[in-house]
Amino acid sequence: MAKERSRKGAPRRGSKLRKEPARKPPGFETRAVHAGEEPEDQFRAVIPPIYHTSTYCLEEVGKSHGYDYSRTGNPTRTMLERKLASLECAKYGLAFASGMAAVNAVLALLDCGDQVLCEENVYGGTHRLLSNIFPKFKIGLSWVDATDLEKVRKGFRENTKLLWIETPTNPLLKILDIEALARLAHEHHSLLVVDNTFASPFLQRPVERGCDIVVHSTTKYIGGHSDFIGGAVVTNNDQVYLDLAYYQNAAGAVPSPSDCYLAARSLKTLALRMRQHCFNAKRIAEFLNGDTRIRKVYYPGLPGHSGHELAKSQMSDFGGMISFELDGDIETTKAFVTGLKYFALASSLGAVESLVAHPVTMTHTSLSLAERERIGIRDNLVRISVGVEDVTDLIEDLDRALTKVLGPSRSRR
């Protein structure tokens, strides 16, 4: 095996695969484990080293081994970026210090006077960047309910450069039609950006449906263990990649080698984790849906969800996020979210541990009351990120906490 490797460390498997035409690409789990990494050259360590270095020795003036300064490029980061690109079935991946840094980098592609057409129900942090930071640079913004394609079509203006969506959306789990929106964006000479954080590439690969730029908070399902902050951008567009890589180096919002290593390590179990998240979430959504103490359940896996059919066609499963409205006021809701045992009351999502959030007071505080009401983020809305624990424990926990604030369930609907 070692003999077949070039000294420069060219990908062994990759170079072999190219010699065999018409071979189907390896499966998702195989790429999750292997893509982007090769046993290293010097000692053949199965796991490439974590390159905790800021700089690199040159062979001679102007001649490096491919890396000269870690802000510009770092082998551990490259490993993560290649793995991400492979899993999203895209050409390029770029890692950032946070999801917001990734979003910021994409918005930095714009010039003064450009406009962003944005789905109205996006993560509060994205909302803040778009409505409070970028207007300073004269980047225009208009909101749209992207489930309505006609409204989207009418929302484009001459200077619209990006159509920005999340699907499923946060926290209401609306499902948006990636293929149709990509077509609309391209008809209007715009690029479609999809924040794929909620689905992860295991469930949904927007690039395959015509999306131009995928952004991620890798802190969530990709990292999956609540233990680092990171972001990523994935694209097939050569120019977008070059511009983003330039900005990544110029602005320097790059993740540390340790965090890149943890992200790459996490991707190895992404498929396994996602399957368990989905399995657990489906059962919990069904439990909540049949409970009289719950007014409404938002989960795309429920047949009654408005985006259920679309979700079935563009996702391979429905994910681990559920939102629901309690049959009670804000005080009842606050008491409920603090009364859970396994669901930790914490911002963030997508981890092995189950989490619960109260969007109005936690994740979506940057929205005004009017905006929240328009979108439908009510005081009694609870968002849960279903972990990989035993689902019976989780259901018992929810039931117990509901009983504490609202009494026992009256009768099954």
Partner 1 sequence: MRYLTKIVHAGEKPCPATGAIVTPIYQTATYVMDGVGKDKGYDYSRHSHPTRRVLELKMAALEGGVDATCFSAGMAAIDALMHTLEKGDHILACDDLYGGTKRLFSQIYTKVGLEFDLIDMTDPSVIKKRLKKNTRMIFIETPSNPMLKLIDIKAAAKAAKDAGIHCVVDNTFMTPYFQRPLELGADVVVHSLTKYLSGHNDLIGGAVVTTDKKFAEKINWIAKSVGNGLGPQDCYLTIRGIKTLGLRMRQHNDNAVKIAKFLEGHPKVSKVIYPGLESHPQHALAKKQATGFGGMISFELKGGIKAGIKCMESVKVWLLAESLGGVESMVTHPYTMTHKDVPEDQKRKLGITEGLVRLSVGIEDAEDLIEDLDRAIS
Is position 393 an interface residue for partner 1 (rule: CB under 8 A)? Answer: yes
> Hey, which bits of 236-283 come out as E strands?
none
How many CA atoms are closer than 13 Å to the CA of 13, on its beta-carbon side? 12
Is position 22 an interface residue for partner 1 (rule: CB under 8 A)? Answer: no
Question: Closest approach of Cβ 359 to partner 1, in Å?
Answer: 19
| Stretch of residues binding partner 1 (CB under 8 A), selected from 38-46, 90-98, 209-217, 359-367 | 38-46
The three-class DSSP label of residue 236 is coil
Closest CA relative to residue 240, chosen from 190, 182, 185, 168:
190
- Determine whether 123 is an active site residue: yes
The dihedral region occupied by 68, where left means phi > 0, alpha psi between -120 and 50, and beta the remainder, is alpha
Is position 227 an interface residue for partner 1 (rule: CB under 8 A)? Answer: yes
Q: Please, which residue, 1 or 112, has the CB nearer to partner 1?
A: 1
Separation between Cα atoms, residue 354 and residue 346, nearest integer Å: 10
Is position 363 an interface residue for partner 1 (rule: CB under 8 A)? Answer: no
Q: Answer for the pair 394, 341: CB distance below 8 angstroms, yes or no.
A: no
- Among positions 9, 11, 39, 210, the unique one binding partner 1 when judged by CB under 8 A: 39
- Among positions 242, 290, 390, 404, the unique one binding partner 1 when judged by CB under 8 A: 390
Active-site residue identified among 51, 67, 123, 298: 123
Burial of 109 by CB count in 10 Å (0-12 exposed, 13-18 middle, 19+ buried)?
Answer: middle
Q: One-letter amino acid identity for 230?
A: G
Question: Closest approach of Cβ 337 to partner 1, in Å?
Answer: 15
- Among positions 5, 9, 11, 29, the unique one binding partner 1 when judged by CB under 8 A: 29
- Give residue 373's Cα distance to chain centre: 25
| Stretch of residues binding partner 1 (CB under 8 A), selected from 131-139, 205-213, 272-280, 362-370 | 272-280
Torsion of CA 241, 198, 271, 44, to 10 degrees: 40
Q: What is the size of the binding site for partner 1 (CB under 8 A)?
A: 42
Separation between Cα atoms, residue 222 and residue 123, nearest integer Å: 17
- Determine whether 212 is an active site residue: no
- Among positions 41, 179, 308, 342, the unique one binding partner 1 when judged by CB under 8 A: 342
Residue ranges in contact with partner 1 by CB under 8 A: 1, 12-13, 16, 26-30, 32-34, 39, 44, 46-47, 225-227, 262, 265, 268-269, 271-273, 275-276, 342, 344, 346, 351-353, 355, 387-390, 392-394
